[in-house]
Amino acid sequence: MKLSGKVAIITGGSRGIGKATASIFAKEGASVVITAKDNTRLQSAARELGVVGFAGDIRKNDDVENIVKRTLDRFGKIDILVNNAGMLPKVKPLHEIPEEEWNEVIDINLTGQFRFTKAVVPHMMKNGGCIINISSDAGLKSFENFEVDSYSATKAALIHLTKTWAIEYAKHKIRVNCICPGVIETDMTEPYLRTEADRAMMVAEHPIGRIGNPDDVAKAILYFASEDSSWITGAILPVDGGVTIK
């Protein structure tokens, strides 16, 4: 039970990587709070996993602070934050991106992570803690025919913020690390995997020879959340089947 006695908040926890992480955290003994905007889907996932679901919009500071307060009221502390929530806009070149869409992606994928981290850090400063940011391999390198500039910008920024926060809060025994997944089979990537040709092309991009699944990432998140990585902070870990080494 690697997380026995720990309390974790996982944003975007009702599906995909967040849901897989909540499942493995609960099995490892953590008290888990998952968050999402869609309360119906959130509560269904919470019941399925045996965890707590607090609904809220990562774009609204009041919602973020309310989730943190309810977690503290319920469990008395917060040991782990997984900044997983995010969105992937439709592929289009820069000159076709409406400013409203650009701002929405920044708000959800970057400012939302800022809001949650800002809300939990004062409580972690008392006894230490662990923050895991979920970025992307698109934050590490550019990919031809993957024109999602706002998404790539937020993921690159989150990588650098991981290093900034790691240095800033190391003296408070707060570790901050980052995972950069490749293509993971989730609702978010489903539009890119609809045909056998699409799937074959995606598989061919990964030297390991397959697309990732949510558990591949969840196991890496567990490593950073547990004492197995107690001497690691500011690390950026690609979990991408080898894409970024090409």
Q: Are 36 and 58 in contact (CB under 8 A)?
A: no
Q: Which of 29, 116, 38, 55 is nearest to 81 (CA)?
A: 116
- Residue % of the chain over a pLDDT of 70: 100
Question: Contact 139/158 with Cβ under 8 angstroms?
Answer: yes
Look at residue 9 and tell me whether its pLDDT is greater than 90.
Answer: yes
CB 39 within 8 A of CB 12: no
Structural domains of the chain sorted by starting position, each given as residue range(s) with its CATH number in brackets: 7-235 (3.40.50.720)
Instruction: Report the catalytic residues.
Output: 151
Helix (H, G, I), strand (E, B) or coil at 207: coil
Model-level pTM greater than 0.75? yes
Other beta carbons less than 10 A from residue 99's beta carbon: 7
**For residues 155 and 135, is the Cβ–Cβ distance under 8 A?**
yes
pLDDT in tens, 225-236: 999 999 999 999
Question: pLDDT digits over 72-117, tens only?
Answer: 999 999 999 999 999 999 999 999 999 999 999 999 999 999 999 9
